[in-house]
Amino acid sequence: MKQKSKAVTPEMVKKLGLLPEEFKKIKEVLGRTPNFTELSLYSVMWSEHCSYKNSVHWLKTLPKDGPHMLAKAGEENAGLVDIGDGIGCAFKIESHNHPSAIEPYQGAATGVGGINRDIFTMGARPIAQLNSLRFGNIEQERTKWLLKGVVKGIGDYGNAFGVPVVGGEVYFDDCYNVNPLVNAMSVGIVKQGNVVSAISEGAGNPIFIVGSSTGKDGIHGATFASEDISESTSEKLPSVQVGDPFQEKLLLEASLEIIKTGAVVGMQDMGAAGIICSTSEMSAKGKHGMIIWLDKVPLRQVDMEPWEILLSESQERMLVIVEKGREDEVKKIFDKWDLNCVQIGEVTKGERLKYYWHGEPVADVPAESLVLGGGAPVYIREYKEPAYFAKTKKFKIDDIKEPDNLKEIAYFLLKQPSIASKRWITEQYDTMVGTKNMSTNVPSDAAIVNIKGTNKAIVLTTDCNSRYVYADPEIGCEIAVSEAARNIVCAGGEPSAITNCLNFGNPYHPEVYWQFVGAIKGMSTACKKFKTPVTGGNVSFYNQTAMENHVEPVFPTPVIGMLGILPDKQFQMTMDFKKKDDKIYLIGQSRNDISCSEYLYAWHKIKLSPPPYFNLDEEYNIHQTILGLIKKKLINSAHDVSDGGLFVSLFESAMHRDLGFDITSDAEVRMDAFLFGEAQGRVVVTVPADDEDDFLKFMTGRKIYFCILGVVKGKQMLIDDISFGTVAEAKKVYENAIPDLMKI
C-alpha cells in the first residue's frame, strides 16, 4: 500500500498507544508494514475504549439470557428488551469521563448526544434519560467548575433535544477530584419489527454519511479515553467533541422517517473512532467489505487529511446502508430535514475495507481484524488483592463510642453533598418534556415512564455506592445490582434487565484489575438471582490521576442502569407518607452495623471498613414481599433504606407532604447503627390503619423479618419521644446544602 505520509517508526507506534506485540500482529494481518493511516486505524480500534481488550474476557462471563431479551449484549448498538404489547425497549449507559474532565460542558453534552444516537439508530425513539455523576470535594473551586459545566452540558443538550431526564444519582468524594465520572443513559421504545441493525450487507448497496459535516474535533478521542489523566491532559482539548442538539433532533426525525420507508439495510451512529469504527463494525457483522471515497465526505474544515477524516469524532453523524435503487427516497427525506446525505461508498463482496482519497488508495485492511470479537487483541491481566483490603476487615463497631448528639449527626448527614437534595442540579434539566414522566411530582425510588397507548410503564434507575465496591468489589457490586432492583420494586416495577457502565482505574495495575474482576463476579451472581441479564454497556478504564510519584485511581464504580416493567399503572408506588395515623413498618432487620456508612466515613472520618451487612437471598425474598404488598394494595408508600440509613429514609418519606413521624428504636441495636447504619435489605412501608390486620396476615406467612416502627403523625420527627425537629426545619437544611456550597 503506497501513501505519501509519515514513515512509521517505533516511537510513532508507542505514541499511538500500541504495544510492540500489537504492531507485530498488525504486520502479520496485513502481510506488510502498515502505512501511517492504517496504523492510526488500528490504534483507535484496538484502544481499550473500542476493543475492550483488557475486559472482554470477563465481560463474556456475565449472564446475557433472560425471558424478555430481543437483542443480547454485543448484538446491536444497545440492549433490546420485550416489554409486551409488541413494543421493544432499547436502553444503554455509557461514559464520557475524560472529555468531561477537561471540558465539562461539551464533554457531558456530547455524552448525552452519543448515547441517544445509539438508541435511535436502532429505530427506537428516545423517551427518557438518566445519568450517574461523580465529583470530587465540592468545596474545591475546580469541582464547582466541573459540576456547573457538566450539569449545564447535560441540561442544555437534553432540553434542546427534547428528551426528559427522569432520574439518576450524584456522589461526591475526594477520589474524583481530578477525574469526574459522567455516565449517561438513554432509553427508547420501538415497535417490534421496526428495529434496524448495525450491519452492512448486499454487494453494490450504496453507503451514505448523513447528518453533520466532519471536522477535526474528537480525533483520537477513543485513544484519549484509554489513557491516564495527567497534568498535560488539558493539551488534548481537540480530542473533545463539540455537540449540536438541534442538529441531533433533526437527525433523529430524519432517521426514524427513513426507517419507515423500508429502504434501510443497516445503520450505525458515529461515536468513538468515527467513520473507521462504523465501517469496520458494520462490515465485520455483515461479513461484507466496503469501498469508501473519503474525498466525498462533507467537511467543515478544508485542510483535513484522510486519517483525520477517518478518525474524526464529530457529532451528529450516522452511516447508513441503503438498498440499491432507493437512493433518491432517502436523499429527499434528508433534504427535507436540511441534513447532509452523501454517498461515500458501496458495499462489496469479501471482507476488506478499502479507503480512497481522490482515486488514490490510502488504506486497505480486513474489517474483521479491527473489531471486538474479531481480530482485536484479548488480554487477561494479572490481578492481586490490594493491601488495603485486609485493613477493612480490622474495623470493629465497638471501637466507636456511641454518640449522644444524635440530632446533630442527623442534620450533619442531611447536609452531606452525596445525601442532600440535588434540586439545584435537577432543576436545570427538563424532566417533563414529552409528558411521559410519571414520577416528577409523585416521588418514587425509581423513575416511572408512561408507555402511552398501553396499561404499562417502564421503571428506571441508576445505582452504585462505590464506597461499598472499594471495600469489597464482589459484595459491593452485588449490592449495587440489589439496590437497583430494590428501587425498581419499591416503585411497583418488576426488574427485567440491566446495562452497566464499569468505571475503573488502569487495568495494567494488578490491584485495579482485582477490583474489576471482583465486581464482574458480584454482578454475575446478583443478576442471575434477580433474572436481570446484562444487555450491554460500557467499560471505562484509566479513571485516575497521574501524580508526580504515583497514580491515584478513583473508587471502582460499576454503575448499574436497570430497567423494570410496571405491568399495570394502577400499581405505581411512591415513597411519600400519605396521611396521618398510617402505621410505619420496617421490612428487613436493623443491625449493629455502621460499616461503610456515610456516618462512619464523614462524621468519624474512618475510611476503611467492610461493606454493610448484605444477604442476597434475604434481599430477593424482601423484593418479592414488597411486590406482593403492592399488588394487594396493602401499603401506601415504600422507600428503601440506603445512603444515610433509616433516619434519612424516614425524613425523605416525610418531607414531600410535610408529615412527621413518631417511632420507637430497637432496644437490641445501638442508636447510631439504628438511625444511621446502612445494613442492606430494608424497606420502610406505611400501612393504612384499616388494612393493618390484612398486612399482618400477609407478612406472617412470608418468613421475612419485619417490625412496627411507629406512626405517621404531626410535623415533628420523634424518635423515642425525643424531637429531632420539624420536617420543615430538616427540609431547609437538606434543600439548601448544595446551593450554599455552590454559593448560589
pLDDT in tens, 6-23: 678 888 898 888 999 999
The mean pLDDT value for 672-691 works out to 98
Span 216-236, average pLDDT? 55
* 218 band by pLDDT with thresholds 50, 70 and 90: low
State the pLDDT confidence band at 78, using cuts at 50, 70 and 90: confident
Residue 561 neighbours by CB under 8 Å, 6+ apart:
91, 92, 93, 130, 132, 185, 460, 461, 462, 484, 498, 499, 500, 501, 537
Lowest mean pLDDT among 217-231, 354-368, 518-532, 554-568: 217-231
Q: Which residues on adjacent β-strands are paired with residue 462? A: 561
Determine the Cα–Cα distance for residues 307 and 411; give it in Å rounded to an integer.
57
Look at residue 560 in the predicted model and tell me its pLDDT.
98
Beta-ladder partners of 340: 211
How many other CB atoms are there within 10 angstroms of residue 24's CB atom? 12
Q: What is the pLDDT of residue 414?
A: 98
CA pair distance 701, 491, nearest whole angstrom: 23
Task: State mean pLDDT over 217-234.
Answer: 55
Tell me if 316 sits within 8 A of 251, measured CB to CB: yes
Whole-angstrom distance, CA of residue 118 vs CA of residue 71: 14
Cell for 637?
Answer: 408508600
Bigger pLDDT: 26 vs 220: 26
Provide mean pLDDT across the span 404-431.
Answer: 94
pLDDT mean over 697-716: 94
Of 49, 509, 623, 639, catalytic: 49
Distance set, CA 505 to CA 226, 240, 428, 472, 541 (Å)? 10, 20, 30, 16, 5
Q: Is the pLDDT of residue 522 over 90?
A: yes
Average pLDDT of the chain is: 92
pLDDT for 182 beyond 90: yes
Q: Is the pLDDT of residue 223 over 70?
A: no
Name the strand (E) or helix (H) holding 92: strand 87-95
| 495 CB-side CA count, 13 A | 31
| Given 57, 68, 96, 358, the catalytic residue | 96
Q: pLDDT band for position 237 (50/70/90)?
A: very low
> What average pLDDT does range 578-591 have in this prediction?
97
Residue the block writes with cell 483535513 = 304
Query: Would you state the pLDDT for residue 395?
Result: 97
Does the structure show a pLDDT above 70 at 398?
Answer: yes
Residue scoring higher pLDDT (75 or 465): 465
Query: Which range is least confidently modeled, 157-166, 487-496, 647-656, 663-672?
Result: 157-166
Report the pLDDT value the prediction gives residue 236, as an integer from 0 to 100: 46
Contact 539, 550 (CB under 8 A): no
DSSP for 121-164 reads TTTPEEEEEEEEEEES-TTSHHHHHHHHHHHHHHHHHHHHHT--
- Judge whether residue 271 has pLDDT over 90: no
DSSP 201: -
Pairing state of beta strands 716-719 and 661-663? parallel
CA distances from 500 to 139, 362, 387, 681 (A): 30, 37, 27, 22
Closest alpha carbon to 249 in 120, 111, 429: 120
C-alpha–C-alpha distance, residues 598 and 171, integer Å: 11
pLDDT in tens, 593-629: 999 999 999 999 999 999 999 999 999 999 999 999 9
Is residue 700 classed exposed, middle or buried when 0-12, 13-18 and 19+ CB atoms within 10 A define those classes? exposed
pTM value? 0.94
Residue 706, SS3 per DSSP: strand
Q: What is the pLDDT of residues 459-485, one digit of tens each?
A: 999 999 999 999 999 999 999 999 999
pLDDT of residue 216: 87
Q: Using one digit for the tens of pLDDT, what is the confidence trace for 281-319?
A: 999 999 999 999 999 999 988 889 999 999 998 888 999
Q: List CB contacts of 572: < 8 A, sequence separation 6 or more.
A: 438, 442, 444, 448, 457, 491, 492, 566
Question: What is the structure's pLDDT at 69?
Answer: 83
CA proximity to 48, closest of 226, 276, 179 = 226
Give pLDDT, residue 2. Answer: 45
Question: Looking at residue 227, what is its pLDDT?
Answer: 52
Question: E-strand spans in 114-272?
Answer: 125-135, 165-172, 181-191, 206-211, 264-269
Residue with cell 417511632: 663
Give tens-digit pLDDT for 374-393: 899 999 999 999 999 999 99
- Cβ–Cβ < 8 Å for 714, 653: no
Cα–Cα dist 608/557, whole Å: 17
- 49 among known catalytic residues: yes
Question: The sheet that has 583-587: what strands, in order across it?
Answer: 637-640, 683-687, 583-587, 706-712, 661-663, 716-719, 722-726
Active site residue 550: no
pLDDT at 249 over 90: yes
Q: Which amino acid is at 127?
A: I
- Please tell me whether residue 52 adopts helix, strand or coil conformation: coil
Cβ atoms 402, 671 nearer than 8 A: yes
Per-residue pLDDT tens digits for 124-181:
999 999 999 999 999 999 999 999 999 999 999 988 898 999 999 999 999 999 999 9
Per-residue pLDDT, 441:
66
End-to-end Cα distance, the chain = 60
Q: Quick check: 1 pLDDT over 60? A: no
Longest dimension (CA), the chain: 85
> At a CB cut-off of 8 Å and minimum separation 6, what does 302 contact?
none
**Residue in the structure block whose three cell numbers are 448523513:** 210
Task: Please check the confidence at residue 47 and state whether its pLDDT lies above 80.
Answer: yes
